[in-house]
Amino acid sequence: MMEEVEKLCDRLELASLQCLNETLTSSTKEVGKAALEKQIEEINEQIRKEKEEAEARMRQASKNAEKSAGGGGNGSKHWSEDDLQLLIKAVNLFPAGTNSRWEVIANYMNIHSSSGVKRTAKDVIGKAKSLQKLDPHQKDDINKKAFDKFKKEHGVVPQADNATPSE
């Protein structure tokens, strides 16, 4: 009961506390107890509502954070195959330990990207993390597509003739 009384002292204004005190001193034990319990219920209800509102705000904030982060990089800013290949190249080009690494990678992508979509460091980090979580088969597919694109752009490397080696 002492915790409840402490809550009352913390939550109620001076006028409300004085009114409750007057009720307690001027009435019978049962009426005073009922008044005290009523105030405690009201305070507990107020605390419960505040907690629910805080939880709702936290859920909303986390939803907004997911949206702004692009859901791990897949949200409103679509990543094309070219952008993914450019991201992989940039991550390899600027290794860990580079000053402001993710800002540098984002800037590199914004300069070299053909899609015209401006990426922030946050977008780049999110997509890089989601790419790390891919299974090996998906990574192989991405690498194969990149190699096929390279072959198409640069032409197939000519094969050596079937000539016999000189002695």
Residue 142: its pLDDT value, please? Answer: 74
pLDDT more than 70, % of the chain: 86
Is the pLDDT score of 88 beyond 80? yes
In angstroms, the CA 101 to CA 63 distance is 27
In angstroms, the CA 70 to CA 123 distance is 7
CB atoms within 10 A of CB 109: 21
Is the pLDDT score of 61 beyond 90? no
Residue ranges in the chain assigned as alpha helix (H)? 2-11, 14-26, 29-68, 70-73, 81-93, 101-112, 121-132, 136-154
Residue type for position 49 = K
